[in-house]
Amino acid sequence: MSTGVLIFICIVGWFLYFIPSIVANDRRHNNKLSIFVLNLFLGWSFIGWVVALVWACSNNANKNDKLGKLGYFIFFIPFLLGICFYKGLAN
């Protein structure tokens, strides 16, 4: 399997895994950090992932949240560090 395909699969998997956290951030949920932590540690189990998604879809928005869409970068920092680490070991 080529490196490009592996990176694509990792990006898609990363996005799917963190859908509840992305939804909570997009809806400016008051408990988006708690949803992220739940998603991070229990998202691997289907039940934890569904609970995080349902919680993220609940109507508990903070309309004065200034972070907004910038929070998406939080999800990609560990992924980018992983690619840099892999490229460093591959050479």
Write down the pTM of the prediction: 0.69
Residue-wise pLDDT for 34-88, tens only, equals: 999 999 999 999 999 999 999 999 988 777 766 555 555 555 666 666 665 555 5
Which residue in the block uniquely carries the two structure tokens 């939080």?
74
Residues 6+ apart with CB under 8 A from 23: 53, 56, 57
Mean pLDDT of 12-34: 88
Whether the CB-CB separation of 25 and 73 falls below 8 Å is answered with no
Going by pLDDT thresholds of 50, 70 and 90, the confidence category of residue 3 is confident
Return the domain boundaries, the chain.
3-60+69-90
